[in-house]
Every structure is written in structure tokens, then in C-alpha cells.
Chains A and B, each alone.
Chain A
Amino acid sequence: MTLRKYPGDLLLLGLFLLPVVVVAPALPWGSQGWLYSLAELAGVFALSAFLLAGMLSARVPGMDPWFGGLVRLWTIHRWLGFSAFMLVMVHALLLALATLPMSLGTSVATLFPPLSHWEVWVGWAAFLTMLVFIAPTLGFIGTLHYQNWKRLHLLSAPALVLALVHTMMLSATAWVWWLLSALALAAIAWRKLLSPRLARQPYVVDGIDQLARDVVELRLRPKGKGIRWQAGQFVYLTPMDSSLVAGYREEHPYTIASGSRDDELKIGIKAVGDATRALLDIKPGAEVRIEGPYGTFFENAALAQKGDSLPGEPRKQLWLAGGIGITPFVSGARDRVGNGAVQAPDTCLFYLANRPERAYYLDELVRIAEACDGFEVHTHYMNEHGVITRDYLAERCPDFAEWDIYLCGPPGMINHLQTLLRQEGVPAHRIHTEAFDFL
């Protein structure tokens, strides 16, 4: 996640701090109350983070660029969930500590009071519910099947309600919680109830091109208006074909491979799990639903089109792709073909693959490079050359360290390249990567 600031960040920060600002002055900060007040504050922060995480799960198409793209949004969501979980434990421990000077019995009774103090027990129920759905997310018990994980994550809604009841019963300032919880529950309702009906667009599979043994490109035709997209964005695709072995009605994110002006929506798919493997066998004519687009991979390109670019020549671009990570660059390259006269920055694409057979899309990319000035394609085969080095890059693009650099590929490749680029002195804000392997 880059440290770049986005307009949405200010909104998030405001919403996050609002309850604290409202609640904190009313707490008993006096000589003996400060620890207790701190405990309450931890609880307030925890619920704020929890509610904010809920709001961010809305995933409304078109809104994610405010926050630097959907991947960054999910990263923030994950950090908020993590913080809420940690802060809830701090909340309980500080409460126990604050009452410990009175006696151990009082301290334990603060955490586990008689059942008549049911609002405290509702708090415990909220924590345990949270524990159930967050434990697999935080890797406490290994990893779950994606769809099971997703279903389990829905427990966040009841956990949220329990946490709210717990807080409302004990808080004097309810309005601020009503406000935030309305936003959070609306977001969850949108995502789980409304968006499947309202935001998913029906498409029909027009054709399937086999690119490799385990890689296909789906060509999709909209049944209705369809969606508009930018190069490098991705969509959530839900197959509506019940004859599939797996993944029927399950949504997964895939990168768009077609240029932004193409009529067809093309999607590059590599079999990595049950659902993606089953999708390789989908038949022409089958219906799928598309929600999106999301992401801001070529964010600078998008900004440049709005006339918001840096003064002077647009900075040259170095594209580094590995495996199915070639897809956003295919989209970017196809964009140039349709683009005609519109100037695009000089670009150098390195296609990193193990061996030539695994370099799918390469023929088309080479054709585009021959047709377009200022677009070069180079390959790097691991089996032939070993791990890619700075010299390998510099021989072909001598001043690459001055360029904007875009990375997409498997985590090992990204890590290796980021280390290499940092050693070359490339600042983080010029390295763009958007890995959605955890979405």
C-alpha cells in the first residue's frame, strides 16, 4: 500500500475520530478515573474501527478510486478489522486493570458480572462472534476455502449488532453510534442484499480462447448496457451456469484484458482454485454477471487523461509482468491499438515467464509493439536466464530507474522486483502494484 493520500482518507479519518471526540470529554479523567477512561476509549476506538470496516465492505463500483482503488480499500478494511480485534482485547484488559486496585474480586466481577448485567455479556458475545469470523482471516486456524471464509465473514453483521447493543446500553451518547451503525449496516445490506440484484450486469459468453493448458480468455457480450472500464481495472464475475463443476453463483475478481474502447469485455483467467478451474469449461452462450469495474492500476494514465498530469512529457513507463499478471498489461497494450493518434507514454514491457510456452498473449503483444511506436516488448525466461537482474533490465532500458514502474505477477516476483528497484533508488511512489490475491 502506498503512502499516497486520497480524498477518501480524510472522510475515513473523520468518521473514525468522530465518536472519540464526542465521547472522550464526558469520561471521568480525574485522578483515579484515567485508567478506566482509557479502557472506555479503547472500546470506542474498537467499535469505530469495526463500523468503519463494515462501511468499507460496501464495494460500490466507481467509489474505490477515492480511496486509491479497491485493493487499497480492502487493505484498509483489513487493518481496521485487525485494529478492532486488538482494541477490544485492550478494552477488556484495561477495564480489569482499572478495577484491580479495589480488589481482585471486583476486577473479575467487572469482566464477568452477575447475569443481571447482561449488557456486559452482550459485549462478550460480540467478541466471541468476532473471534469466530476473524480467526481464519488472521490465520489462527489455517486457511479456509474462499467461499466458506466469505460465508463465515458474514458473522461480522451479528457481531456488529451485538457490539452496538453493548455500547448503546452503556453509553450516554447514542446518536453518534446510530449514525455510524446506520452507515455500516447499510453498507453490508448493499453488498449482500442489494448489489447482487442492482449492481451486477448480465453478460453472455461469446467465446473462449484457450491460451495455455490452464489459461483461457473469455469474450463476453453485454445483454444490457454493460459496463465501461479503464485499462488495468478488474471486475467481479459470477457464473450463472449451474452445469459448472464448481463456482456456480460464486463471485471472484478477474482482471480485464480488453482495451477500454473494445466492444467485448475480455477476461483472462488462470485456473488457481476450484471455481477458476471449473470456469475453463464454461460454454459459449452461458450467462455470467459482472460487477465493477474496480481498481486504479494505471492511475497516472487515468489522471493524465483528465489533464491532471505532471508538466512536460509524460514519464516513460516500465511494465513488469509475470504469469497471469500479464492481463492488465494486455489491456494497456490493446488500448494503444484502439487509441490511434492519442499520445501514450513510451513504454517498455518485460514479460517474465518460466519458458516460452508459458508466455501466453506474447504473439499479440509483439504484433502491437510492431504496430505502435514507443511500445517495446521484451521477454525474460527464468529457465534460460535465471532470476531477472538489474543488468538485464538496464541492457534493454538503460534509464529505467527514472520511469514509472508497474508490477503485476506472483508474490515472489513482486518481492524480488521491489527489492531490486529500491536498490536502484526508485522511490516507492513511482512503483505501482495492485495485487488482489487476498480478495
Chain B
Amino acid sequence: MTSNRIAYTGFVAFVSVVLTLVVVNLVQGNPEPTAGGTAENADGESVFRLDDVAEHNHAGSCWKVINGVVYDLTEYLPNHPTEEEVFTRWCGKEATSAWLDKGNGRPHSPRAAARLEDYRIGVLEGGAPAPAPVETADSATQPATGDDRLGRMLLGLAPGNYLDGTYRGNFIDRGLIQVSLQFRLEGGRIKGMSYRHLFYRDEDYLKMDSSAELYPVLRQYQQITERLEGEPMEAIFRLYEPENVVDDIDGYTGATLRGAKVISAFRDGLNRGVYSW
């Protein structure tokens, strides 16, 4: 019967193809396992090949290689400040270049580097030996990050007794109030910081619509209040390098933010003393 011949031919072809795959793979001397990437290096860390990483190339499972380290950034994706596509186009890839240049010639912040380590799942096989977490590498040159000794020193230069209570302060320039804010101190920690007025070059930021061109800058100002919540008061001096505190949003980098105005308004509030108890 014809079907018998077809079945036999098909079976022989099948066995041939499978054997060819297996033998060629053996001859290539590919001792590596497997899509699972179960190998480990001497440090007990998983070793992946770029092939393995390449499978996780979408928003549902997004791995990236940065400086020889493999990160599973799937869960971080919703928190990334840019358009999703900016983030996902690097999924499954060697993304060090994108890490070092966000598209504006600037690297990601040390703050971002610190968060990145939470997502580390292994190293790339044959890649450069994984560098120590980027955070420590950078911290020597960036003393303001996560190290508020400088802040304490600055407050020490202008000592005062900062009682618990609500403070209000302003930054005034060229005859106009640009930043006006309110915050509480509780045990020396910043609580409930909010803006009462944000104004610059004819733009009243607090009345800005979310479609406005400069709206991302307002978001960055708001990130300042979110991220200083509960921090010791000297953390305000981190804003001398605002890119360490806020994210880049829609092409507005943290570095362009005038964090010094917020510091100034904050210290104005401290100098004025408690506004209300």
C-alpha cells in the first residue's frame, strides 16, 4: 500500500534528521546544557549563554546583559520611566551600551545601578568577569549618593535646632517666587513634603496639564517629594545631583532638574523655623 511506503520513508527521514542534529551537535563539542542554563560558576552563580538570554526577549520575560551580568528585569519593567518600547527593545540582548548611554549621552544613575542589582540572576558565559556591582564602583566618585556625610557637614556649617513641626520655605529669584514648599520634620526626618508653588519662565507648573511639554519636569519634582519621604533631613543635599534621586522622563534627564532650588527653599523653611505645630 502507498501509505505504508510513505510512512516508512517518513520514518527513515525522521530518524535521519534527528540523528543528524544529535551527531552534529556532538561533533561541535557543545558540552553545554540546555536552554535551562543550569550551569553554575565557582561562585555558585548561574552561567547563561547569550542564546539563553535571547529567549527572554519580550515584555513577558525580559532578560538583559549589562557588563557581563544577566538581569531579569521583567518585574521592573512597569517602573521604568520611559516608554515601554524604549525598555523592551533591549530585552534578550547585550544592553551595556544602552546602560551607559540612555540616548542622551549620559549613563544611568548610580541609584538605578543600585536597583539593578536586585534583578541579578547570573552571569554571561565567557563574558568579562562580572564586575562588582556598579554601585560600589561609582560610589567613590559620587559621595552624595546614599552617603549623607556631606549633608550632615553642610548642616553643621549652619547649625540650628530643628524642632518637630511643619515648615514652609521659598526660593525667590529675580523678584519671583519660583519654589514654595511645605514639609514636616518628625525626629529629624522629612515627612509630607509638598509644593505650594512652582513657577519658572511664565509656566505655573502646578496648574500644568498632563499633556504639557514640561509636565515630565513636574513629575520629576514630585518624585523628589516621594523619594525624600521619611529620609533624614540631610538627604535634601542629594538634590545637588538630582539625577541620583529622580528618573529620566520623556527625554528630560534628572541632571537638568534644578535641585538646588528645592534645597534653597527647604533651607529657607528651616531658617524661618516652625510654621505650625
**Interfacial residues, chain A to chain B (CB-CB below 8 A):** 78-79, 82, 85-86, 89, 92-93, 96, 99, 102-114, 131, 134, 138-140
Contacts and interface: CB of A to CB of B under 8 A. Distances in A.
Interface of B: 1, 3-4, 6-8, 10-11, 14, 17-18, 21-22, 24-25, 28, 30, 32-36, 38, 49, 51, 54-55
Contact of B25 (A92, A108, A139): A108
Nearest to A96: B21
27 contacts: A79-B3, A82-B6, A86-B6, A89-B11, A92-B14, A93-B18, A96-B17, A96-B18, A103-B51, A104-B30, A105-B33, A106-B51, A108-B21, A108-B22, A108-B25, A109-B33, A110-B35, A111-B18, A112-B22, A113-B35, A114-B38, A131-B11, A138-B8, A139-B8, A140-B4, A140-B7, A140-B11
A27 B1 CA distance: 36
A113 B4 CA distance: 31
B28 A139 contact: no
Contacts of A112: 22
A99 B18 contact: no
Given A109-B34, A138-B3, A104 B21 contact: yes
A323 B22 CA distance: 54
Nearest to B28: A104
Contacts of A138: 3-4, 7-8
Given A82-B7, A140-B11, A105 B18 contact: no
B120 to A, nearest CB: 23
A106 B18 CA distance: 13
B3 A105 contact: no
Given A89-B14, A93-B14, A105 B38 contact: no
A66 B11 CA distance: 34
B220 to A, nearest CB: 35
A17 B54 CA distance: 34
Contacts of B11: 85, 89, 131, 140
A111 B23 CA distance: 13
B19 to A, nearest CB: 11
B81 to A, nearest CB: 26
Nearest to B14: A89
Main secondary structure of the interface of A (DSSP, over half): helix
Contact of A139 (B4, B33, B54): B4
B33 A85 contact: no
A107 B34 contact: no
User: Interface centre among B8, B11, B24, by most A CB within 10 Å?
Assistant: B11
Contact of A102 (B8, B14, B25, B55): B55
A36 B32 CA distance: 23
B21 A111 contact: yes
A106 B28 CA distance: 13
Most chain A CB within 10 A, of B1, B7, B8, B36, is at B7
A85 B18 CA distance: 16
B35 A106 contact: yes
Contacts of A103: 30, 49, 51
A144 B217 CA distance: 83
Contacts of A82: 3, 6-7
B263 to A, nearest CB: 49
Contacts of A96: 17-18, 21
B3 A104 contact: no
Given A109-B33, A109-B35, A139 B1 contact: yes
Nearest to A139: B4
B101 to A, nearest CB: 27
Given A89-B14, A109-B35, A112-B22, 11 more contacts: A82-B3, A85-B7, A85-B11, A99-B35, A102-B55, A105-B34, A109-B33, A114-B36, A131-B11, A140-B4, A140-B11
A138 B10 CA distance: 12
A140 B235 CA distance: 80
Contacts of A85: 7, 11
Contacts of B30: 103-105
Contacts of A89: 10-11, 14
A104 B24 contact: yes
Contacts of A106: 34-35, 51
A96 B18 CA distance: 9
A347 B241 CA distance: 106
